[in-house]
Structure 1
Amino acid sequence: MSTEPQDASKAKETERQLTMSRAMVEAIATEMRDNDEVFVMGEDVADYGGIFSSTTGLLDEFGRDRVMDVPISETAFIGAAVGAAMSGMRPIAELMFVDFFGVAMDQIYNNMAKNTYMSGGSVSVPMVLMTAVGGTYNDAGQHSQTLYGTFAHLPGMKVVVPSNAYDAKGLMHTAIRDDDPVVFMFHKRLMGLGWMPSPTGPKTGVPMEAYTIPFGEADVKRVGSDVTVVSLGLHVHRALEAAEDLAEDGIEAEVIDLRTLVPLDTETILESVRKTGKLLVVDEDYQSFGVTGEIIARVAEHSLDDLKEVRRLAIPDVPIPYARSLEDEVNPGTADIAEAIRELHE
């Protein structure tokens, strides 16, 4: 039996439907109106409005002093954002593709994530590093990764991964107001772009007023009693599709959307596994040393007696292929998830 998401009642307070990109922009604009210290910087965020429409319309309202296109130097502008945050501003810096993290990792990890610690708590770094993740549109190995686990593995940064418009707006408000650095990872396929169609699920009802969603609270998107499916981002929707298909055969999967990796809502996962006894973790990141292994380890540490069977689906340890047929082969699809749920249920 399926159920509405936990936050569905709030989303249904309005019939207004937004894409995830519009919901994110709305949250950013509200925070910029309320706080002059909030500004946006990145490549193509001003005139172009972000190549994934993550900043569309902000330039017209706030001007170039607060919505700034920058040179193609991730090291320079992310470093500038760190300095601005330490000086009392609240920058939102967009790293166009998460794959580009390598050229700015010193600024991201040795400065953004660590400066509060290295200063003995005398400074904070209240900034949002917003970045596009994910494949499924054939852009090869340097533009198609998710790398959720890379950032979650390194302490000092909160990691946010929304799967729909309602969550994206609430999590963005929370991220901008947070006094610690937040990595806000949005999946390209969920943004509602005309040239990269989304699944049906990411476009949701979104209230006009500002609201926050606390970090560290997963959302049970579908209630079930047979198998627990844990995922995030695009694969929440693929898991839901698989679960609805299997319901016709009497298999009821419970689908959990993590929403944030750091902090991670372990208890919601444990509660579900105590009920179902069977766990499937689905991830678009690489399999080894990643999110799937961490979640399974936590369940094993805290509730091993309840865990009867476990599976994981993730990207195998190869660069994301360019050819569509090969990318589809390595990226878990709805049919792959359904097959794994069915095998766990047998």
Structure 2
Amino acid sequence: MTVTAAAHDGGIPAPAPGTAPQQVTMSGAINRALRDAMTADTDVVVFGEDVGTLGGVFRVTDGIARDFGPDRCFDTPLAEAGIVGFAVGMAMAGFRPVIEMQFDAFAFPAFEQIASHVAKMRNRTQGRVNLPIVIRIPFAGGIGGVEHHCDSSEAYYAHTPGLKVVTPATVEDAYTLLREAINDPDPVIFMEPKRLYWSKGSLPEDASPDAQIASSFGRAAVRREGIDVTLVAYGPSVDVAMQAASAAMGSGWSVEVVDLRTLVPFDDQTVVASVRKTGRCVVVHEAQGFAGVGAEIAARVQERAFHSLHAPVLRVAGLDIPYPPPKLEHLHLPGVERVLDAIARLQWDDQADALHLPESSPACDSPASDSKGGAA
């Protein structure tokens, strides 16, 4: 199919030279990235549940089917395993499928296809067959959804060898990381924070079909510099970490915030360099804590920066429960107060934290500290 300039009528127009950067929503940035990728490469196709005429339940693909035609953007049956299986066949035939799982937990029926075929095809064929598939998954909470409409499933994908796992926290990253994901020769799980779809920011100045996208996979970003403690976060939790860092100034803590951007590949270098500087680390994510991504991050930090740590690595995560009803969501999701509480428990006075010990323990007989991080 030949795509002309008219293909962008329903999208975000390029700014005039010399004008201020455009303020767009994250959903708009993803829409623009899809359009630019489809214009640059006619092998890029977009499909999934309601992504065509409706433009997706979050309107991320709004106007794409109209502007590029039904052979480039089309709806599928409500069968996630079939959607992924179809993408595998298209990728083997030379296309670059970009598919959408309507909600995070809707992807679970497709997990056998993802784990058994999408992730393993390159290894199975000794490198002869690669699958350039992008699986877009709206994930995490913050929208008052219920059960399978709000979930944080990133640990499943990060634990599956053969997949790259990406989650943007800014508008600019949503555009550049998706463009890079579509260009990647291997499968990418692109996890889009639902609560950030309506957040606003600037597109890259060179956003266009011909843009040369610099590699950002495996490169974390330091969003805020500090010297006392490192907050490691990704996706929707980056904003929480930034708010907590600002609030921590009132207690005299200088907080550094690291946005991972990609969970796989993982940027050990940036995270470890930050922790070696600050000596303390808290990992923040919405998914339940047990066996979550935060546990892997904590292990990697302690394996690589143990002698620089002044306190154990702590985690602030969702509760170890199924996703709660909308009215209880705020109790489940990590917030600023929970992050500040974790920072306060980082043994600022170098006293042993005896709160977890039995009352009969000699350590509990020591005077409680009045400092902001003590065991009182």
Structure 1 length-normalised TM: 0.91
Between the aligned partners of 1:146 and 1:270, the Cα distance in structure 2 is: 25
Q: Hey, what does 1:234 align to over in structure 2?
A: 236
Q: 1:47 to 1:105 in 2, by over 3 A?
A: same
What do the CA deviations read for 1:245-282 (whole angstroms, capped 9, x no partner)? 22233211000000000000011110011011100000
Q: Which residues in structure 2 correspond to 1:104-119 (within 5 Å)?
A: 104-119=110-125
**Residue 125 of structure 1: CA displacement?**
0.2
**Residue 137 of structure 1: CA displacement?**
2.3
Between the aligned partners of 1:323 and 1:112, the Cα distance in structure 2 is: 34
Partner residue of 2:108 out of 93, 96, 102:
102
Q: Hey, what does 1:318 align to over in structure 2?
A: 321
Structure 2 length-normalised TM: 0.84
**Residue 44 of structure 1: CA displacement?**
0.8
Q: Hey, what does 1:343 align to over in structure 2?
A: 345
**Residue 160 of structure 1: CA displacement?**
0.3
Q: 1:132 to 1:118 in 2, by over 3 A?
A: same
What do the CA deviations read for 1:192-211 (whole angstroms, capped 9, x no partner)? 1xxxxx4xxx5334323333
The answer as to whether partners of 1:230 and 1:257 remain within 8 angstroms in 2 is: yes
Partner residue of 2:291 out of 289, 293, 300:
289
Q: Which residues in structure 2 correspond to 1:213-252 (within 5 Å)?
A: 213-252=215-254
Between the aligned partners of 2:164 and 2:326, the Cα distance in structure 1 is: 33
What do the CA deviations read for 1:134-169 (whole angstroms, capped 9, x no partner)? 112222221111111110011010000000110010
**Residue 16 of structure 1: CA displacement?**
1.0
**Residue 100 of structure 1: CA displacement?**
1.5
Pair 1:158-2:160 in alignment: no
Quick one: percent identity of the two aligned structures?
40
**Deviant stretches of 4+, over 4 Å:** none
The answer as to whether partners of 2:44 and 2:95 remain within 8 angstroms in 1 is: yes
- Bigger Rg over Cα: 2
Partner residue of 1:182 out of 188, 199, 206:
188
Pair 1:169-2:175 in alignment: yes
Q: 1:205 to 1:14 in 2, by over 3 A?
A: farther
SS at match of 1:48: coil
Residue correspondences, number: 326
Between the aligned partners of 1:163 and 1:13, the Cα distance in structure 2 is: 25
Between the aligned partners of 1:13 and 1:108, the Cα distance in structure 2 is: 43
Q: Hey, what does 2:282 align to over in structure 1?
A: 280
Aligned residues: CA RMSD: 1.6
The answer as to whether partners of 1:17 and 1:206 remain within 8 angstroms in 2 is: no
**Residue 15 of structure 1: CA displacement?**
2.2
Between the aligned partners of 2:114 and 2:82, the Cα distance in structure 1 is: 11
The answer as to whether partners of 1:49 and 1:58 remain within 8 angstroms in 2 is: yes
Return 5+ residue gaps in structure 1 as ranges: 1-11, 193-197
Between the aligned partners of 1:14 and 1:152, the Cα distance in structure 2 is: 38
The answer as to whether partners of 2:231 and 2:255 remain within 8 angstroms in 1 is: yes
The answer as to whether partners of 2:29 and 2:203 remain within 8 angstroms in 1 is: no
**Residue 319 of structure 1: CA displacement?**
0.3
Q: Which one has more relative contact order, counting CA pairs under 8 Å at least 6 apart?
A: 1
Matched letter for residue 90 of structure 1: R
Matched letter for residue 249 of structure 1: S
SS at match of 1:142: helix
**Residue 43 of structure 1: CA displacement?**
0.5
Between the aligned partners of 1:72 and 1:330, the Cα distance in structure 2 is: 30
Between the aligned partners of 2:337 and 2:197, the Cα distance in structure 1 is: 23
Pair 1:15-2:21 in alignment: yes
Q: 1:279 to 1:13 in 2, by over 3 A?
A: farther
Between the aligned partners of 2:250 and 2:292, the Cα distance in structure 1 is: 33
**Residue 294 of structure 1: CA displacement?**
0.3
